[in-house]
Structure 1
Amino acid sequence: AQAERVGVMAEADPSSGTNPILFSADQYQSLFLKALKGNLG
């Protein structure tokens, strides 16, 4: 539930539009969970 919230908040962040690759809330959530587990490869 918290990871979902992080994804939604990351997508809504005004600075997210300046990223070279735009992510959806689901993609931000997935990235967050992978980083949390140390699985970035």
Structure 2
Amino acid sequence: MLPAEEQPLPAAVSPTTKSPGYITELEPEMEPEENDGDDEKSEG
């Protein structure tokens, strides 16, 4: 087990989650691939 000083930052504190265009694995519904598929089905 690593000391508190060597432990990685939690996802909530990590600057990566604040980066624009970053997609979290907890929200796969926001992926453009799935949105495009839904749009095509709605039009048909």
Asked if these proteins are the same fold (TM beyond 0.5), I'd say no
TM-score, structure 1 as length reference: 0.35
More relative contact order in 1 or in 2 (CA 8 Å, sep 6+)? Answer: 1
Whichever of the two has the greater Rg, that structure is: 2
**Hey, which of these two has a bigger chunk of helix by percent?**
1
TM-score, structure 2 as length reference: 0.33
